[in-house]
Amino acid sequence: MANDRFENFVGLVYALNKEVGRIKTQKMESLGLRGTDTMVLYYLAHSDGGLHEADIARLMRQDRAAVTRIVSRLEKSGLVERDLADDATASGGRGSRYRAPVRLTARGREAALEMDQIIDDVVDRASADITPEERSRCYGWLRQVLESLEKIE
Residues in the chain: 153
What span, in angstroms and rounded, lies between the C-alpha atoms of 5 and 23?
A: 27
Work out the angle at residue 60's Cα, subtended by the Cα atoms of residues 101 and 37, and round it to the nearest 5 degrees.
75
pLDDT tens column, 94-107: 555 668 999 999 99
Task: Select the more confidently predicted residue: 117 or 97.
Answer: 117
Does residue 1 register a pLDDT over 80? no
Work out the angle at residue 35's Cα, subtended by the Cα atoms of residues 99 and 86, and round it to the nearest 5 degrees.
20
What span, in angstroms and rounded, lies between the C-alpha atoms of 67 and 54?
A: 8
Does residue 88 register a pLDDT over 80? no
What span, in angstroms and rounded, lies between the C-alpha atoms of 88 and 151?
A: 38
